Each structure stands twice: as structure tokens, then as C-alpha cells.
Structure 1
Amino acid sequence: MARMKYEELIRKMTLEEKASLMSGKDFWQSQNLERLGIFSMFLADGPHGIRRQAVGSDQMGLNAGIPATCYPTEATVANSWNEDLGERVGSYLGLEAVAQKVHVLLGPGLNMKRNPLCGRNFEYFSEDPYLAGKLAAAYVRGIQSHGVSACVKHFCAKNQEERAMSIDVVVDERALREIYLTAFEIAVKEGRTRSLMTSYNKLNGTYTNENKHILQEILRGEWGYEGAVISDWGGSNDRVAGLEAGNDLEMPSNDGETDREIVLAVQNGVLDESILDRRVDNLLDLIFFTGKLEDKSRFNFDVEKHHRISQKMAEESIVLLKNEDAILPIRYDKKVAVIGEFAKTARYQGSGSSRVNPTILDNTLECFDESGIRIIDYAPGYKRYGRKSGKLKREACELAAGADIVLLYLGLDEATETQGLDRESMSLPANQIDLLEAVYEVNSSIVVCLSSGSAIEMPWIGKVKGLLHGYLGGQAGARAILRVLSGDVNPSGKLAETYPLKYEDVPSAGNFPGREVTAEYRESLFIGYRYYDTAGIAVLFPFGYGLSYTEFEYSDLRINDNGISFDLANVGKAAGMEIAQMYIHCCSDAIFRPYKELKGFKKVFINPGEVKNITIPFDDISFRYFNTLTNGWEIEEGDYEILVGASSADIRLKASMHRKGTDAPVPYRKEDLPSYFEGKAAHIGDEEFEQLLGRPLPPSNWDRKRDLGYNDTISQCRYARGVAGRLTYWIIVFLHWYLKRIGRRNEANLIMMSVYHMPFRGIARMTGGSVSMAMVDGMLLIVNGRFFRGLFKLWKEWRTNSSK
């Protein structure tokens, strides 16, 4: 074991001082020890912009932030496939963090897009771990170039928002390694992130914050990670167990309650003090790395310059999905009707902890003059949050009838895509679809400008000629879209996720979300294009797809042991950027695999008539698979097909090569796992999934006969023995229904996020010490049918807590 960096300083600390460093000083700051020169770090949300809240750091909740540049979200940035630009955006984020005295920036998010309904997909890069990891590493390098620490999250397998703080993710080891950990591995090894945030959920029965397998054996053991591990806010279950597993900092503050647990554990011999010293050492390394900020004078970043880089990223991330009859770009002589409430009030970011207060916010209607597009008028067409209006629809149709082209702005609203809730369907709101169909009856020259952070169904796509997807383009997204529509910018974005024809085609559809105790990842490796390509399922838009205003031609593929090279020519009339993608297909069927997997890519700018030679190297990820018998990464000897193309479904070049292997034993028998070997992993039965796991399935439903405990959620009060518990449940359900009914959807969502799905322990962990675990004990007595005893304990502990 390596020698501690700050051993001499740690020796000067008392046991109580060491323990005090292990949890927050308040909601956003780490603890300080003035006598030893240890200062508080400020931690702030920031995957796509700094959210240092304007109120004091002792105030919990999702309060408004100090103005900062709102860059495109990760789901948007992933469509750029541009590592260099990602690192540049990261650098600008780091500069803004320095300006706001933020030491640790909580991002980027690296969870896989296992299912398109995950409410937080807008904050994650991709369904592919290689693409996500490369972009995340770029972000991390940029952020940390200014002495700020990035904090990649949420480690790991956090792929749903419903019951996120208590759900148990059941996943086989190979899928865990190849799909859900690979992006984190790249961010750790290539980005060298200084901090990492654990997720709320359990992983195969153990909370990630207490999971020695991922925190010790993999993160620190295999990857050589030397940074700090931080809990998600309120994500600490058993503090001592978390400390032993490898958690260095619990956030937020709990007014010293868990500090006392740590001290007691050391004094009673339950926790070896050397483990505590190691955790303190890791945290001090983070503190002193970010301490350089204290030496920098406060400065104001260049707002306009940062706005321009946000626009550049938005432009490179916009995806042209359909361009029938070359309706785009729009010529200056066309009369254009602009319809859609999103044109007036853009949807440019997600909701929840990543919500940024932008420094500037471009407005579509105010940017048309500079675009050269001649609009005749604007009509809202629909109400933003789904209510129908015949009057608005009629007005929009009247406007559309007199136009050459209709620009129809559609998308998902802020209350649909948000932290804490998963989406109910993949559809656009019905009132928007009704509007599109009505407009089509009077004018078939429709270009849809789509805004959303995740995949949607498009049964209406046959009624539009053009489809431009801006995702969530940040504060400059509105202007960026107009620059693509006008032809000032040639679209170069390509999808970082697959768009299925319908939700039922999604391989995890039958197991999402895990609604009670477990979330079963029965599809294993087969998420996204890995499933659709292998099972032969038709999709609407494949992974890696995106159109351009020019054309590219691939030729002359050459392969050696170190990588590939080929020629890429722009054979069209406009300059543009192409994203060339390298996939690898293993020709052997001895081990089940997806048909092909992304193992390299390059984005390149090419002028008309120009030819460029492109090289894409192989790396240590290119040919590996995880072998559960050897518990390590292996290479299967055999023939491999190298596939180069413009998307996962548009392969332009192919060649074969032989690769030597590592002579590992075959870990599977085909007769035990027929569905996986056929790639038809959407409907896996219990027995076959248990064969893959190598153990029996844990119970998936709540045991309704037992008392509720710390890790049960408020939603489970419907089964409470006590009348007070059941009454509380129905009051919450009614309030949620009522707030939605009267149109206050954000407040309704907040109830679901911060109350309904909150485990009882979270009431203490998220209130900064205002509610103690002893008070939670009183609450549990009440809901479990011991009303007066619980009420007395709650009152007694409240008085004790208040007198501190």
C-alpha cells in the first residue's frame, strides 16, 4: 500500500478532527480545520454550467444560481463527437468555477442511456460507453486545467430516477464491466479525474457508497485511482461501512451525527483508525489540489466569449435527421411561418440540480433578422405543458396556409424531463402532434425543429420534410439552430443514441423502471444499437446517424496491428465535417457478444473536392471482453471484421484481420444462455437470467408483512401498519394529483422527487442535521402502528436536537 501524502499533518489531528472532515460543513462546503490550515472546499453542480446557488451554502434545495454560461447538456454535446471541443468547453467551465470560487464541479454525468425514459438522460452522454468515456475524459482534462476538480458521476448503474435512493440494481458482472463501468474507467485513466461521486442505488445488494467490489477492487485496485470518493447528496446509508469501502466525503452536513458514529466505531474497535487516516489523506489531496484557487484573485470571465463557445458547441451538436427535397437550407426568397411556443421561449436545458441561470439567453424570434430567413409571422400553436387549445391551433393553421415553409418548433417541456422522475412515455405531447397534423393539412412543407434531451417516438415523421434536432442547446442554442437552417453552418452532429420505432422495441422496456425492490438488467450487454443490430430490429434512426448539406465518400481501408487508415473525400458542394466511426465485429460465436461495437471515431473538417487520410488507432479496449471465469479482461483469438462507416447502420468499408488471444477458458455454455447467444435479449426468463448471474434472483417485491425501516420509501407508507402512515401516503398522492390538475407541474414533480421516493434515512441525511436519525426512529414508530410511543420519541428527540 502506497505511503500517505499527508501522514505528518494527519498525526497532528485528534480523532474527532479526522472524523469531522468526513462530512460536509453545510450543504455545499466541506469542513475546515483552521488550526492546521485546512480550508473548506465549495462544491457546486455543474455538468453543463456552474450552479453555485445565490443563497447561502447552508440552504438546502434547488435554489437559483449565480449567473453562469449555460452550455449544451451532455446529451447534446455527445452528438458533436468532438473531443477537442469538449475539452475546450471543459476549460471554460473551469474558468467560470475559478471565477465563482468553486473548488469541485459536480460533473460530468457518465451513466449509460439504458432506457430512453430515464428522466435524467439529458444529463448523460450516450448509450455507448466508449463515446461517453472519451467525451467525459476531455471535459475532465479541460475543467482540471485550471486547478478545479471535476467530479464524474454517478458511480455506477444509476439508470432510473424512480426510487433512485433505494433501488437494487441486479446486473451480471460482464455487463457491469463492459457497459456500465467502461466510461468511468476512461474518465479515470485518461481524464485523471480528481474526484468521483457514488450513486444512490444499491448494486447487486450493496449500496454503491459501501460497495468494496467497485470502490476498492475495481476503482482503486484495477484502475489505480488516487482521487477522492464523494457521496451523492444524502446518499450515505451506513457511514462506517461507507468509510471502510472507500468513501472519503459524505455530503451534505448532518451536524456531526455521523462524525460521532465514526469516533465511536474507532473507539470500540469496529473501525481501524488507519482506514480513517487513508480517507483523510485522500480528501486532503483534493483540498490542497483545489487550494490553488485561494491564491487567485477574483475575476470576471468574458461573458461574450463564453457565450460564443457555447454557440459553437451547440452548432456542432445539432443533428439533421431528415431533409426531403433538399428543403434545407432555407433560401432567402422563401416566406416562412414560425409556429410553436418553443420558438418564443426556448427549451434549452434540463431541470433539477443541473439547472443553470444563464448569463445571456438567445431568443429565436429576435435572431431571425440576422439569419437571412424571411418570416411572415409567428403563432404559438399550442400550450407548453400539454393543454389543448383549438383557438391556438386554428391561428397557427391560418398562418401556415400563407407560407412557403413552416418552421414548427416542437419538443418536451421542462416538467417532462427532470431529475427525480422518469418519463411516462416516448411520445411528444398530444397537443403538439395534433397541431402538426392540422398544419400538414394546409401546408405540407414542414420543417420540425425539435428540442428534447432524449429519444422520442415519431409516428408523424412522414408528414414533415425536414427534421432538425437541437437537443438542449444551452443559452446560445436558438441562434445555433437558425444558423443551420439558413445554411451558415453545415450540420455535423450525429446521434449518440438510437431512436427506436416504438418504445416496445427497447430491450429494457419490460424491466424499466424497477418499481419496488430491484431493477433487473436482464438484457445484459444488449443496450442501444448493440441490441438492435444483433437482434435485427428495425429502428427509426440508428446510432451515429446524421445528415449533412454535402456528401462524403470513404475509400482505401488499410489495417495493421496498431490501427486503421482510410481516405475520406468531400464529394459535395459545401464544406463540412464528417464523423467517421470504427466498429469491430468478432467473427467467432464461442462467446456471446453484440454484433458490433464502437471502438474508435474521428471528426474531421473537409472542403469540397478535398481528400483526407484518416487514421484511427486500436487501444487496450478495442478487442477485449470481460471473462467471468478469470475475473479479468481477455482477448478471444480469431478473426475480426473492421467496419468503418457514417453510422452504425451505414458501413462504407470492411476488412478482416486475425488477432491473437489470451487463451482464456470460455465462460459460457450456449445451451444455458440461448437468448443471449442469439442476441434476442428483450424477454429473458428467470432461469436464464439466473444462469447468467450465477446466483438466484433476489426478491423483487416489497415484503408487506414487515415493519418499514430506514431504507424504505415514503411511497411504501401505503402498506404501513399505522393509520397515520397510510394517511400521509394518501395526502401526498392527492397533493401530487391536485398540483398537476391545476397546472403546477414543477411543484408536483418536486413532491415526487423530494418526498414520495425519499427513503426515511434520507429525511435525516438531506436536512443538514435539522432532523436526526433518532427523530426518524420516532417517525418509523408512528407509521408502523405505535403512534403515541413514536410521537413521544419524536418530540423528545426534537427537543434534544434543538438544544444542541
Structure 2
Amino acid sequence: MKHIAMLAWLVAAAGQAHAQTADPDARAAAVERQMTEEERFSLVWGYMPVASRRGPAPTPAYVKPAAGYYPPIPRLDFPGIYETDASLGVTNPKMSRIGDVATALPSGLALAASFDPDLARRTGAMIGGEARAKGFNVLLAGGVNLTRDWFGGRNFEYLGEDPLLAGVLAGESIRGIQSQRVVSTAKHLVLNAQETLRHSIDARIAEAELRESDLLAFEIALERGRPGAIMCAYNKINAAHSCANDWLLNRVLRGDWGFKGYVMSDWGATHGPTDMAAGLDQQSGAQLDSQVWFDKPLRAALGKTVPREALPTSVRRILRSLYAVGADAPLAETPIDYAANARVAREAAGAGIVLLKNDGVLPLATTAKTILIVGRYANRGIWSGGGSSQVTPVGGPLVRLPFGGSPFLEVSGYQVLMPSSPLDALRAQLPGATIEFDPGYSPELAAARAAHADLVLVFANQWQVESIDNPSLALPDGQDRLIELVAAANPNAVVVLETGNPVAMPWLGKVRAVVEAWYSGQEGGAAIADVLTGRVNPSGRLPITFPATAAQAPRARPEGLGLPDDGTHQFGVDYVEGADVGYRWYAGQSRKPLFAFGHGLSYTQFRHSQPAVDGRRLSARVTVTNTGARAGADVVQLYLTRRNGQVLRRLAGFARVELQPGETRAVTMAIDPRLLSRWSGTGWALDAGNYAFAIGRSAEDLGATTTVRLAARTIAP
């Protein structure tokens, strides 16, 4: 018996080793063949285990609240699937898991402003680690949607307007997440660019223009991050729903890009059983759809309108993604080092803060003995964006105010402030100054108090939330008037913006400095103080264009604004800018924005050499010198400015470099040939001819041009 027991142990150990090292495709196929039909169906539609008034699919009572749940299959050692949102931290929907908190990172735009792929990977690993420690094995992160419109309600979640920047940072974030044995998504494929009528809007654009912009961002993210899952979007693309778009899911995603993972729907974005034939593998949050399409309706459709092989194929894709990153390991809750993760969050917040204007008043001078801080809640906390990405921070939220509105907003529309006080942080870092606070509720009172201070810091906020757009560049609640009055009363006024989108600045010429802090997460108060006092030298660069007026943009307001998103209004948006998203549009139209993509100041100065471009290897080399007296980080930006006589503007490379005072360093940037090419219909075509490049301090502030002749080449899709 002893020998038999030992033999059994060796067999089991060998099986575990095989499970860890076997080819995930072969392993998925082997496990799928052992599954019953019921077990296969249990993987292709899932619950959203959060209390809801809707739903043909009630959630089992024993399932802990989460974004999504698929039951385990013990006999096959399959732990099931527990899904959680999102890119900014592990969420707790409706705070349903009592007492459960997570590290709240800055917004996606703040991460994008860092231009730092390594930071994206490390913050991804931090979120992935917390998700795994909380018992989740799929993270609904990896937001790749480009900012096409300044008013988009979810822009704060994403990574800006440039396909290279968004693709690289999303890919690195996904890599970090999946290093923790957690499957990451990339979302939302594709053109989910506005929240207004997001369930019924038709995004219309030519294929070449889509390939050269939004799809290229996803393509780069998939190549770098290899996500296990793709989440399709609510909207249509050229008349076909994203989650039922055969061209998008089968031809482009799987055919051209060779994607091996699975496609999950957004919650409430499945339209029928035939969506599986069009490339959808999994119906997510089934109670948000009109019915569970991937259960009885799919059973009836198999072998008729849906090929019978589609079901096992989808199951194999799902299994394969979990096996590929080890996400099939048993789910168990383990301790989390929140203090270490807070340090990552603080670093990320500081790296993403952008100094937009500074006439020398910053960093805060030691001679400023009396400082008045003005702005609602600036004495207590930091604003965050709302919706499915909302994180319940460590320590709990400072304020959680119900917003109301649509059914979605009734559930997820809360204005949440992070418990990180800028006032307390500044008092700690400036112990020799007297720092007072005024909420700004009465602009006249705030201005009267400002007149007696050496310097005034005005904290202004703009709250954004999933499901609605904000079609105004003005700061809400009369804050522009507040800033005007304070600046008139005190010539030393500094504005700190906590926003999820660009804002107009009618008072720009009347203040001495402007700092864009975005939504800076649970450590935001300390990070903002770090930058204001000079403990951190600001190095963020704008990942989106700040227009001077709404009329400068391709669309001055959302299409269909004010109409209910109930499916009765079918609306189209013609993306007239095509591939010229963001700064490309402004350059092509010769329109000068308020602040350009890539803009950002420092407390030191940098000098760049003319770029040397290697046309054979497709790379650029530039030397960077810190000519100032402070250590700091520069973001080197390489732009394509002319292609065979055609004037254009494309970010072709970037690199973040840390330099000590007086230090010089050579930076080499690889150039992705797709950024120089045009979509030919069957692939990428780089035409022979002359290509001009320049190093820029922004997309608008360019240095000397270097021209190189390139040979023709083609690149497969």
C-alpha cells in the first residue's frame, strides 16, 4: 500500500508539473474534450454577481459580489472564473464586499502623461497582484480606446489620443497584470469614443483610416501585452455591432492579428446567439441583456445559424487564456502589502502630473509665509472619476455622493473622493509656512481672504463618469469665476486642476502657474504636494490636446446629446478626421490649441540634438542634456513631419530619460514602420521616398528636421 500511495503521489506531481508547462492550446483542447455539454455552456455566459433590479439570470446567493462569475468544474481542476474591474485598481461594485478596499491608482490619462512603459508595467503588476490576492483571476483592464473627442465621459480611464502611446502603455500594463497569474482584457474593441447613445451609436469610418488609428493602438497593445481576452464594445462599427462584427472579430482580430484568446462582450452588449458565429465567445453579465442568449437560444441555434463547432472552439479559447498565464491556479485570498502598493501609486501620480504654465512661482518659494488653499474638499481629499472603474481606496472613501440619473448612474454614479489631503501634505512639507483653507463656496469671500496671503493655490475640479459625456469645456459650479476673482485679488495665484478631460482656461493670462493633476488616486494629495514644493520635478506631458475652443475640434459636442440611450434612437457619427486623431487633426487643420499634445514643463531645462535617423534599421538617435540645476526627467518625442512631400504629424517614437544636472545621454528609439505607412487594403505599404523627422517638446513645438530616404517595403497585417 505504501508503494501504491507513493506511485499515486508521483503521478499527481507529474500531472501538476505538466499542467504548469504544457502547451496551453493542447491542454485546453484536451480538457475541453472531457467536458459535458452543460460544462461547456457554463463557460460561455456569466453572471454579474451584484444586486440588480434587472435580470433573467439571478445570481447564486453563495457567489461573492464581483463584476463577473463562471462556476468551477472541480472534476477537471478548473477553479472557475471570477472577474473584476478595472485598470485603476480592483473595484468593489456598490461597496458590496463589506470592508474590502484596494489601492487606487491615478487615472489612465495620468499614466499616459508619464510616457513611461516601465511604470505602466509595474502599476499593472500591482493591480494584478491585488486581484489575485483577492481571489480574482480575470481583470477587466487594458483600456485602449483613443480619445477622439475632448468631451468623452470615459476618457479619464484611457491612455490618450495617440495610437503608439496608448498601444505601448496598454501593452505594458497588460504584461504586468498577467505576470500575476491573472488574465487581462484589452478593451473596448473598437471606436467606443463617446458615452452618449453608446448602446446604439454607429461609428462610421473608412477601413484604412481605422487601421491607421484606433485599430493600430489595439494591434500594438496585443503584440506587447498578449492579453488573454478582448472585450468588444457597445457601439456599432460601420453598421454592425462590435460584439457581432464578423469583419472586426474574425477577419481582423483573429485572421490578420492571429489573436488566440477569447472575446467577451461588454456587460449588456450581446444581441443574439448568432453573435458567437460572428466571433463572440462569451456573454458577460447576462442579466444586463434582454435574455441569456448563450444558453437556450444558443443551444437551439447550434448546427443551424451557428456552426456546431463554435461552442467547443469558444470554450477552448477561454481555457487556453487561463492556462497560458497560470490563471487556473486555485483561487484563494492572501495578504496584501498595501503600504508598498501605496508607494507605487504615489510614484505614478507624481510622474503623471503636468506643469502646463509656470512663470517661476513654482516650486513653492520658501519666502511664501502665508498660503491660502481654495477649493472644495482640497482640505480633505482628491477627486476621482466615476463608473465601473471606481475603486474603493485603502482607508475607505472620504466622500461618496450619489449622483443619480440613468439606471447605470443609479448603481455606479457616485462622486467619490480619495482620503488624501493636499492641505495636510503641504503643511507637512512646508512647516515654516502658515497655510489656511477656504472652500470657495463664496467666491467673493475667497477673494477677500486671498488678498491677505502671499500666494494662493486654487484647486479646481471637473468630475467625469461613465455613461454620460460632458459637452462643456468650462469648469463646473462657477469655478472659472472663482479663479478670476481670486486672481484679481492676489497676483500670485496658482491653479491645480483635478480633471478627467481638457478644460478651457479663460483666466490663463491672470494666474502664474497651472498644474494638471488629473485624478491622482489615493496618494494624490501627497503627490501634488511633492510637485508643488519641488520634491518631485514635474515630468508629465499631455497625452491629449487641450483645445482653445470647442469649435476647434472635429465635433464641438456629442452626436445625439440629450436623447435617451434606450435603443430607440439609432445614431451615426461620421469620424471626418479619419486617422488624424487629436494632435494630427490640429496640425492638419492649422489650428493652434490651448495646449498641445506632448506639452509639459519642468523645473529644469533640456537641450536636444538633431535626430540621426537610420533608414535601414528604422531607428532614431538623439542626445539629451540637462542644462539646468535640478535633476529631472525629459520625454523625448520624435515626430514624422513630412512623407514624400505630404505634410503631416505623427508620433513615431518616444523615450523617457532621467538626467542629473549637466548630464548628457544618448537615446535611441525604434520606429515602427506602420507609423510611416499607409494601409493598402491588404497590408501596410511604406512607399519609397523622403521622410522628414523632428524632435519635439510637443506636437506643436518642433526642433530641427532631419530627412532620410527610405526604401519601399510592405508589412503584413
Q: Under TM normalisation by the shorter chain, which class is it?
A: 0.7 to 0.9
Which residue of the partner structure matches residue 429 of structure 2? 371
Alignment partner, residue 617 of structure 1: 670
Identical amino acids, percent of aligned pairs: 32
Distance 1:624 1:53, change over 3 A: same
Query: Which residue matches 2:540?
Result: 493
2:630 aligned counterpart, secondary structure? coil
Q: Give, in whole Å, the separation in 1 of the partners of 2:175 and 2:357.
A: 35
Tell me if 1:251 matches 2:301: no
Match of 1:427 among 455, 458, 474: 474
Aligned counterpart, 1:320:
355
Within 2, Cα distance between the matches of 1:236 and 1:257? Answer: 7
**Would the aligned equivalents of 2:384 and 2:390 in 1 still touch at CA under 8 Å?**
yes
- Note the C-alpha offset of 1:289: 4.4
Q: Distance in 1 between matches of 2:380 and 2:239?
A: 44
Q: Shift in Å at residue 511 of structure 1?
A: 6.5
Could you tell which deviates more after superposition, 14-23 or 272-281?
Answer: 14-23
Normalising to structure 1: TM-score of the pair?
Answer: 0.76
SS in 2 for 1:397: helix
> After superposition, what is the alpha-carbon deviation per residue over 1:720-758, rounded to whole angstroms, capped at 9, x for unaligned?
xxxxxxxxxxxxxxxxxxxxxxxxxxxxxxxxxxxxxxx
Q: Residue 604 of structure 2 aligns with which residue?
A: 550
| Range 4-13 or range 180-189, more displaced | 4-13
- Aligned partner letter, 1:127: E
Partner of 2:585: 531
Q: What do residues 638-661 of structure 1 show as CA deviations (whole Å, max 9, x unaligned)? A: 100011121111212321001112
- TM-superposed CA distance for 1:609, in Å, is 1.0
CA contact (8 A) 1:339 1:396 kept: yes
Aligned residues: 637
Residues 564/513 of structure 1: CA separation in 2 closer, same or farther (3 Å cut): farther
Cα 1:87–1:458 change in 2 (3 A) is same
Deviation of 1:165 (Å): 1.1
Change (3 A) 1:410 1:568: same
8 Å Cα contact 1:494/1:545 also seen in 2: yes
Which of 464, 468, 472 is residue 515 of structure 2 equivalent to? Answer: 468
For residues 101 and 293 of structure 1, do their structure 2 counterparts lie closer, same or farther at Cα, with a shift above 3 Å needed?
A: farther
Cα displacement (A) at 1:9: 3.0
Please tell me whether residue 505 in structure 1 is matched to residue 552 in structure 2: yes
Residue pair 1:16, 1:263 contacting (<8 A) in 2 also: no
SS of 1:117's partner is: coil
Amino acid at match of 2:72: N
Picking from 296, 301, 315, the partner of 1:280 is 315
Select which of 176, 201, 212 maps to 1:142: 176
Comparing 368-377 and 242-251, the one that deviates more: 368-377
Q: Which of 635, 649, 652 is the aligned partner of 2:700?
A: 649
User: Does the C-alpha gap of structure 1 residues 9 and 611 become closer, same or farther in structure 2, counting only changes over 3 Å?
Assistant: closer
Relative to structure 1, the CA distance from residue 55 to residue 457 in structure 2 (aligned partners, 3 Å threshold; closer, same or farther) is: closer
Q: Deviations over 1:575-616 (max 9, x none)?
A: 110000011123325xxx771100110000111111111111
Deviation at 1:53, TM superposition (A): 3.8
Contact 1:115 1:512 (C-alpha < 8 Å) held by counterparts: no
Note if 1:583 corresponds to 2:622. Answer: no
The residue that corresponds to 1:265 in the other structure is 301
* Contact 2:137 2:327 survives alignment (8 Å): no
Q: Distance in 2 between matches of 1:585 and 1:354?
A: 37
Provide the C-alpha distance between the structure 2 equivalents of 1:425 and 1:192, rounded to a whole number of angstroms: 37
Whole-Å separation in 1 of the counterparts to 2:620 and 2:185: 34
Structure with the larger helix share: 1
Given that 2:92 and 2:392 are in contact with CA atoms closer than 8 Å, whether structure 1 keeps it comes out as no
Match of 1:412 among 457, 462, 470: 462
Q: Deviations over 1:289-312 (max 9, x none)?
A: 466564476321111111111000
Equivalent in the alignment of 2:56:
none
> Residue 765 of structure 1 aligns with which residue?
none
Letter in 2 for 1:364: P
- Aligned-pair CA distance for 1:528: 1.1
SS in structure 2 opposite 1:653? strand
Deviation digits for residues 212-245 of structure 1, max 9, x if unmatched?
111111111111111111100111011x221112
Quote the offset at 1:38 in angstroms. Answer: 3.0
1:336 aligns with 371
What is the CA–CA distance in structure 2 between the aligned matches of 1:14 and 1:76, rounded to whole Å? 47
**1:256: Cα distance to partner?**
5.3
Q: Amino acid of the residue matched to residue 512 of structure 2?
A: K
- Is the Cα contact below 8 Å between 1:54 and 1:64 reproduced in 2? no
1:288 Cα offset (Å): 3.5
**What does residue 633 of structure 1 align with?**
684
Distance in 2 between residues matched to 1:623 and 1:258, nearest whole Å: 42
Compared with structure 1, are the counterparts of its residues 53 and 216 closer, same or farther at alpha carbon in structure 2 (3 Å cutoff)? same
TM-score by length of 2: 0.85
Render the CA deviation track for 1:341-366: whole Å, top value 9, x for unaligned: 14124343210111100014321122
Offset from partner CA, 1:690-745 (integer Å, 9 cap, x none): xxxxxxxxxxxxxxxxxxxxxxxxxxxxxxxxxxxxxxxxxxxxxxxxxxxxxxxx
SS in 2 for 1:437: helix
Q: Residue 295 of structure 2: SS of its match in structure 1?
A: helix
1:101 to 111, 135, 140: 135
User: For 1:469 and 1:638, how far apart are their aligned partners in 2?
Assistant: 41
SS at match of 2:674: coil
Q: Distance in 2 between matches of 1:412 and 1:79?
A: 18
Q: What is the Cα deviation at residue 179 of structure 1?
A: 1.1
Rounded to whole Å, the distance in 2 between the matches of 1:511 and 1:420 is 12
- Alpha-carbon distance, 1:395 to partner: 2.4
What's 2:652 paired with? Answer: 599
- State how far apart, in whole Å, the 2-side matches of 1:459 and 1:77 are: 27
Hey, what's the Cα distance between the residues in 2 that align with 1:609 and 1:291? 46
2:37 maps to what in 1? 15
CA contact (8 A) 1:358 1:475 kept: yes
Letter in 1 for 2:194: Q
Structure 1 runs of 4+ aligned residues shifted over 4 Å read 2-5, 254-257, 289-293, 513-516
Counterparts of residues 34-73 of structure 1 (less than 5 Å): 34-53=74-93, 66-73=100-107
Give 2:626's aligned amino acid: N
Secondary structure, in 3 states, of the residue corresponding to 1:338?
Answer: strand
Mapped to 2, the partners of 1:54 and 1:328 lie a distance apart of 40
Q: Which segment drifts farther, 617-626 or 127-136?
A: 617-626
- The unaligned stretches of length 5 or more in structure 2 are 1-23, 50-67, 396-418, 564-568
